């Protein structure tokens, strides 16, 4: 399998190959065709698996092939919304959008808390095709009445488990309440607690499940062992274990 076989627009494949990627990763090979076909997706994948490109590439393809609606302020309607738990991840995802979309005419921006809101207000009013955001700041912008999410066609919850761990569930639910019901939704999570499954059940319609790491387990190369030992013997025990391996 190579990137040319995935039916992505040539402008996207060109940008990907420029990154030096030779073959799609497991999650990309599975998720890209599924998203292009319009399926909702439940993706079990950790950082490092290539999950960002797995949703960004088909998202760019679909948006570049579609019409651009207007938002209620007369600006560009937001057609894809990506929610991430942290500002660092939000910035990384938006950078990937820029990198893989460099030969397309799509616009994107990122909004997160901890920085001034005014520049973000003017950008979201003017509108972008793709918005990457952390839930808290997104909600602030919504409550200020400067953000129109009525044109969203693709919604991505990235690292949903971390988002819930950080206490964003209520913010996420408020955002879900204002995006159109009829949309494609993708949920990525490294672990699957009951809370994540509940969220997936309310958001996703007949989702395809793609799992690239075993459920709720650590990386297989790591073996976990417990040796109860007094503080005084800790060093000797560690030395012994290292010697044995
Ligand atoms: P992610 O899991 O999305 O955080 O991606 C992890 C890293 O893998 C990033 O640095 C990407 O640039 C890189 N990457 C993504 N897809 C591929 C690919 N198909 N081949 C090689 N590297 C990739």
Q: Which atom of ligand 1 is nearest to the CA of 22?
A: 20
Cα distance between residue 121 and residue 207, in whole Å: 34
Q: What's the gap in Å between 47 CA and the centre of ligand 1?
A: 9
Please check whether residue 175 is in contact with residue 138, taking contact to mean a CB–CB distance below 8 angstroms: yes
Gap from CA of 185 to ligand 1 centroid (Å):
22
| Sheet containing strand 108-111, strands side by side | 108-111, 130-133, 80-83, 154-157, 184-189, 41-44, 208-211
Contact 158, 84 (CB under 8 A): yes
pTM higher than the cut 0.85? yes
| Nearest ligand 1 atom, CA 51 | 3
Q: How far apart are CA 210 and CA 46, in angstroms?
A: 12
| Ranges of each domain in the chain | 3-244
Whether 27 is in the pocket of ligand 1, judged by its Cβ within 6 Å, is no
Signed CA dihedral, 154, 88, 109, 163: sign only: positive
Q: Measured in angstroms, how far is the CA atom of residue 49 from the centroid of ligand 1?
A: 6
Contact 21 CB / ligand 1 (< 6 Å)? yes
- Per DSSP, helices labelled H in 6-147 are 10-18, 26-36, 51-65, 87-100, 118-126, 135-143
* Nearest protein Cα to ligand 1, atom 21: 21
Q: Ligand 1 in contact with 213 (CB < 6 A)? A: no
Is there a contact between 192 and 215 (Cβ–Cβ < 8 Å)? yes
Instruction: Single out the residue of 82, 118, 74, 102 nearest to residue 15, CA to CA.
Output: 102
The CATH number of 3-244 is 3.40.50.300
Helix (H, G, I), strand (E, B) or coil at 210: strand
Residue 221 is predicted with a pLDDT of 60
Helix or strand run (H / E) with residue 81: strand 80-83
From first to last of the 245 residues of the chain, give the pLDDT tens digit. Answer: 899 999 999 999 999 999 999 999 999 999 999 999 999 999 999 889 999 999 999 999 999 999 999 999 999 999 999 999 999 999 999 999 999 999 999 999 999 999 999 999 999 999 999 999 999 999 999 999 999 999 999 999 999 999 999 999 999 999 999 999 999 999 999 999 999 999 999 999 999 999 996 544 555 566 778 888 888 999 998 898 888 77
């Amino acid at each position: 399998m190579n990137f040319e076989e995935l039916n992505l627009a040539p402008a996207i494949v060109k940008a990907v190959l420029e990154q030096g990627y030779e073959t799609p990763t497991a999650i990309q090979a599975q998720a890209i065709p599924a998203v292009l076909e319009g399926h909702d997706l439940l993706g079990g994948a950790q950082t490092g698996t290539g999950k960002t490109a797995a949703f960004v590439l088909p998202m760019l393809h679909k948006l570049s092939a579609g019409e651009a609606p207007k938002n209620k302020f007369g600006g560009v309607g937001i057609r894809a919304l990506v929610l991430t738990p942290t500002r660092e991840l939000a910035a990384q995802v938006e950078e990937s959008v820029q990198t893989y979309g460099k030969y397309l005419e799509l616009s994107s921006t990122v909004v997160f808390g901890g920085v001034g809101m005014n520049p973000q207000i003017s950008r979201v009013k003017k509108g972008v095709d793709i918005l990457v955001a952390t839930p808290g700041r997104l909600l602030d912008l919504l409550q200020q009445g400067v953000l129109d999410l009525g044109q969203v066609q693709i919604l991505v919850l990235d690292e949903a488990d971390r988002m819930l761990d950080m206490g964003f569930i209520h913010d996420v639910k408020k955002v879900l309440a204002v995006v159109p019901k009829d949309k494609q939704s993708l949920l990525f999570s490294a672990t699957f607690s009951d809370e994540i499954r509940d969220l997936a059940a309310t958001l996703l319609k007949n989702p395809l499940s793609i799992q690239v790491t075993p459920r709720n387990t650590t990386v297989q190369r790591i073996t976990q062992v417990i040796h109860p030992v007094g503080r005084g013997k800790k060093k000797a025990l560690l030395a012994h274990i290292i010697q044995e391996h």
